[in-house]
Amino acid sequence: MSKAVDVTGADFEEKVLKSPVPVLVDFWGYACPGCDLVAPHVDAVAEQFEGRARVFKVNTSEEMDLAVEYGIFSIPALLFFKEGEVVDQLLGAVPQAQLAAKLQSLID
Q: Which of 32, 86, 87, 94 is catalytic?
A: 32
35 has catalytic annotation: yes
Q: Which of 16, 35, 72, 79 is catalytic?
A: 35
Q: Between β-strands 77-82 and 23-28, what pairing exists: parallel, antiparallel or unpaired? A: antiparallel
CB atoms within 10 A of CB 53: 22
Q: Which helix (H) or strand (E) holds 30?
A: none
Residue 20 to residues 15, 30, 35, 63, 77: CA-CA distances in angstroms? 9, 30, 27, 24, 22
Catalytic positions, written as ranges: 32, 35
